[in-house]
Amino acid sequence: MAALEEVLDRIETAQALQLEANATSLDLLQAVYRNPALSLHVRMRAAAIALPHEHPKLSAQAQWHVDGSFAERLDKLLEKATVRSDRARLNGDGSKVIEHEPQSKPSGVRRI
C-alpha cells in the first residue's frame, strides 16, 4: 500500500510540474518552489537558486560627463596629481623638504 501511495505521489508531482515547451529554467525553479507537494528542502533550494534572477542586487555606479577624449582627461588628472605631489614636498611654512637616500648596510654584517 505504501508503494502505491509513493507512485501516486510521484505521478502527482510530475503532473504539477508540467511546463510549456518554451519555459525557461527560471520558470522551472518557480514551479518547484511553488509546489506544495514537494518537500520543503527541495522547495527552499529552488527558491534560493531562483532568488538572484528575480530580485537584482543593489550596487553603486559611477557616472561622469565626458569632456573631450579619454586621453585629455587622463593628462589633466596626471597634471593635477603632480601639482599635488609637489605641494606635498613643501612643509607648511613653505620650506622644501630635503630628500635623501637611506644609508646602505655595511657589507660585513649579515642577517640571520
Domain that holds residue 34: 2-54
Which sign, positive or negative, has the C-alpha torsion 59, 72, 90, 102? positive
Max mean pLDDT among 36-40, 46-50, 67-71 falls in 46-50
Number of folded domains that form the chain: 1
Residue 25 lies in a domain: yes
pLDDT at 61: 80
- 49-74 pLDDT per residue, tens: 999 989 888 888 877 666 678 888 88
pLDDT at 48: 94
pLDDT in tens, 74-104: 888 888 887 766 665 666 666 666 777 777 7
Task: Write the pLDDT tens digit of every residue in 5-23.
Answer: 887 777 676 666 778 888 8
Q: Distance between CA atoms of 32 and 25, rounded to whole angstroms?
A: 11
Residue 84 within a domain: no
Q: Taking 80 as the threshold, does the pLDDT of residue 45 lie above it? A: yes
CB 53 within 8 A of CB 30: no
Does some domain include residue 42?
yes
Residue 6: inside a domain, yes or no? yes
Task: Report residue 41 as a C-alpha cell.
Answer: 528542502
As given in the structure block, the three cell numbers for residue 14 are 510530475
Angle between helices 25-33 and 40-54 (to 10 degrees): 140
The region, left, alpha or beta by phi > 0 then psi within -120 to 50, assigned to residue 24 is: beta
Distance CA 15, CA 20 (A): 12
Tell me the three cell numbers of residue 39: 518537500
